[in-house]
Amino acid sequence: MADNAQNQSIALAHVRKNEEGKWKEHLLHEHLERVSYLAGQSASTFGSEDWARIAGLWHDLGKYREKFQQYIKSASGYDAEAHIEGTSGRVDHSTAGAIYAIEKLGLQGRILAYLIAGHHAGLPDWNNAESGQSLLSQRIKTGKQNGYLQEALDATPPAEILNQSHPQSLPPNGSLALWLRMLFSCLVDADFLDTEAFMDDKRSSLRSGYPSIAALKSAFDQHMVDKVANAKESAVNRIRAEVLRQCREKAELPSGLFSLTVPTGGGKTLSSVAFALNHAVRHGKNRVIYVIPYTSILEQTAEIFVGIFGAENVIEHHSNLDPDREDARSRLATENWDAPIIVTTNVQFFESLYAAKTSRCRKLHNIVNSVVVLDEAQLLPPEFLAPILHVMQDLANGYKVSFVLSTATQPAFSPRPKFTGLKNVCELMDDPERLYADLKRVEAELPDDFASPRTWESIAGELQQYQSVLCIVNSRKDCRELHGLMPKDTIHLSALMCGQHRSQVIAEIKQRLKDRIPTRVISTQLVEAGVDMDFPVVYRALAGLDAVAQAAGRCNREGMLTQPGKVVVFVPPKPAAPG
C-alpha cells in the first residue's frame, strides 16, 4: 500500500530542465486537478462545468501506466510539444481514460470518451472510417484487450480523481455536436495552458494583461468624439451620426440576433463596433469578434481597429497574415482567441465550428458569451448557408452569443418553407428604407439590351473620357485584359496581388482621390465591400443586383458632388461565372 501511495505521488505528467540544468517535475495528479479546474471554469459559461471538470480529471489517466512513466523518464528534457502523442515511440495515454469514463458512467461516459480519447489527435468518429482517423470503437476495443485501463489503475491513482458522480447539467439548447465540440475546446485549451505554464512560464505570462471591454469602449468613444470634431458638416455625416446613435441605443436590447441594414457609406463598420462594445459592456460579454468575408477587407478593417484600440489588443486570424505584423503575444492569442477583439474571416470562424482537430477547436469556448459582427453578411457562401445559419441560431440560443448581420444588401434569412433560416432577428435601424432614400447619391445607367455584350475596346474608350473613374469587372482575367487597353497610369487592382501590395495600392488610390489627382482604376470585385473609396464615376460589369449596389457604394460616397454620381452597368464580352 505504501508503494502504491508513493507511485501516485511521483507519477509524472511532464518533466523538463530549468535554466540551472536541474530537473523540474510536473506531478500527474496536480496536472489532472489543474486541467479539471480550468476546463470547468471555461465550461461554466454555458452551464456544463461538471462535464468538463470530469473530462479534465480523466483525460491523462493513461499516464499512470508504468509504460508511460518509463517512457517520460527516458525522454525527459523535451520541449512544450513533447507530450503530444502520435510520433514514434509514444505510449498511448488517452485511451485508458476513455475506457474508464464508459465503464464508470455508461452513456454519459461515452460523451466524455470522445473528448478524452481525442484531446491530442482530434475528435474521433465512433465507427465511420471515412475520416482517416483511428476509430474510437476500435481504440476502446484494443485498449481493453491490451489492459490499458488496468495498468493505470494498478498504480492506484488518487480516489478523489477516480471517484466522480454522474454529471447533472443538461446540454444547452441546440446541436449535441456543437456542445461536444465546446466541451472538447474547454478540455484541450485547459490541457495546453497548464502544460505551457509548466514547460514555458515566460510564454504563458504573455497571455495576460488585456484591458477590459469597458476600457476599450472608452477608447472607442474618444476616437468617435475626435472623428466627429474633425468631420465636415454634410448630410451624409449627419446620417452617419444618426446611425451611430441608434446602434448605441439598441445595445441595451437582450442578447440575440440582430441585423444592421445601412446603405454603403452610412458608417456601418464603426457603428457596428459601437453596438458591439456597448452591448458587451451592458451584458457582461467577454469579447468582440469581427468576421469578414475577404482578407482584402479584413486587412483594412484591422488597421482601423489598431488605430483605435492599439495593435496589442486586436488579434488578426486569417491565412494571409504577414508574419512581420505578428508578435509572440498575438501568435499565442490566435491559438485560443483569448484577446478582447478578434478580427477573422468567415472561413476561419465557421469552419472551426464544424472542425475536429484540436488546433481548430481549441478557441471555440471563447466564442461563448461574445458579440460577433458578420460584416458584409450578403457574402456568406450560399452553398453552406444551412449549416452556417444553424450554428448561428444554436450559439445565440444556448451560448449567449449575439450576432450582428451588417450589410447594405441584407440577405433574406427569415424562415420560409424548406428554409429554416434565422428566427427572431431584430433590426437595429428604426427605418432602413428612409436611410436608403436619404443616402441616395448616384444615378444608375443600365444597358439598353442585356443580351448584347460590349467589347473591352469600347469600354476602355469610354473610361478614358473621365479623369477619375473606377471600373469593376467579374474576374482577374477580365481585369488584366481591360487594364492592358488603358493608359499606362491606370491602376490595376486584384486578388492576385499579395496582401501588403494590395493594401499599399488601395492606400495610394485613397490619397490620390483625397488630393484630387486624376485616378483611373480597373479592379475585380474585391473593392465592392468594405473598401472606403469615393469616385465620381463607377462602371460595373453586369452581375447580381447586390454586387451592383455594393459597387455603387464606391461612387459619390461622401455625397460631396453637386450632381449625383454616375454608375454605369455594362454587359461584358463574357458573362459572369455561375453563382
CA dist., res. 323 & res. 485, Å (int): 36
Residue 403, C-alpha cell as written in the block: 450576432
CA dist., res. 287 & res. 340, Å (int): 5
CA dist., res. 294 & res. 356, Å (int): 24
Query: 268-283 vs 295-309: helix axis angle to the nearest 10?
Result: 60
Map residue 353 onto helix, strand or coil.
coil
CA dist., res. 123 & res. 125, Å (int): 7
Q: What is the pLDDT of residue 328?
A: 59
Q: What is the pLDDT of residue 57?
A: 98
Q: What is the pLDDT of residue 85?
A: 43
Residue 219, C-alpha cell as written in the block: 477608447
Residue 156 CA to chain centroid, in angstroms? Answer: 43
Q: What is the pLDDT of residue 4?
A: 46
pTM: 0.85
Q: How many residues belong to the chain?
A: 579
CA dist., res. 269 & res. 272, Å (int): 5
CA dist., res. 56 & res. 521, Å (int): 57
3-state SS of 386-421 is HHHHHHHHHHHHHCCCEEEEEECCCCCCCCECCECC
CA dist., res. 270 & res. 354, Å (int): 30
Q: Which of 8, 328, 266 is nearest to 154 (CA)?
A: 8
Q: What is the pLDDT of residue 327?
A: 55
Query: 95-105 vs 136-145: helix axis angle to the nearest 10?
Result: 90
Q: Which of 542, 545, 511, 540 is nearest to 527 (CA)?
A: 540
Q: Which of 410, 332, 406 is nearest to 371 (CA)?
A: 406
Query: 235-250 vs 268-283: helix axis angle to the nearest 10?
Result: 20
Across 35-136, the runs of DSSP E, i.e. the strands, are: none
Map residue 483 onto helix, strand or coil.
helix
Determine how many CB atoms are found less than 10 A away from the CB of residue 197.
Answer: 17
CA dist., res. 492 & res. 325, Å (int): 25
Element (H, E) at 491: strand 491-493
pLDDT tens digits along 465-478: 999 999 999 999 99
CA dist., res. 16 & res. 78, Å (int): 6
Element (H, E) at 245: helix 235-250
Q: What is the pLDDT of residue 129?
A: 60
Element (H, E) at 292: strand 288-292
Q: What is the pLDDT of residue 547?
A: 86
Residue 484 CA to chain centroid, in angstroms? Answer: 38
Amino acid in position 313: N
Q: What is the pLDDT of residue 232?
A: 84
Q: What's the sign of the alpha-carbon dihedral 249, 250, 255, 257? A: negative
CA dist., res. 179 & res. 158, Å (int): 29
Q: What are phi and psi of 491, to 5 degrees?
A: -90, 135
From the number of C-beta atoms within 10 Å of its C-beta (0-12, 13-18, 19+), residue 72 rates as buried
Check if the beta carbon of residue 295 is closer than 8 Å to that of residue 499: yes
CA dist., res. 21 & res. 325, Å (int): 35
Q: What is the pLDDT of residue 6?
A: 45
Residue 150, C-alpha cell as written in the block: 488496468
Cα separations (Å) of 347 from 58, 260, 323, 410? Answer: 33, 21, 20, 20
Successive 10-residue mean pLDDT values, the chain, 579 residues: 49 87 90 98 98 98 93 63 47 95 97 96 82 78 96 96 97 95 97 92 78 97 93 89 97 98 91 98 97 81 92 78 52 81 94 94 97 94 94 97 95 92 96 92 93 95 96 94 96 84 89 94 86 92 88 89 94 82
CA dist., res. 515 & res. 307, Å (int): 22
Quote the Cα angle for 336-337-339, to 5°.
Answer: 130
**Cα dihedral 354/360/361/366 (nearest 10):** -110
Q: What is the pLDDT of residue 299?
A: 77
Determine how many CB atoms are found less than 10 A away from the CB of residue 271.
Answer: 26
CA dist., res. 18 & res. 28, Å (int): 18
CA dist., res. 550 & res. 530, Å (int): 9
Element (H, E) at 12: strand 12-17
Q: Please, which residues bridge with residue 437 across strands?
A: none
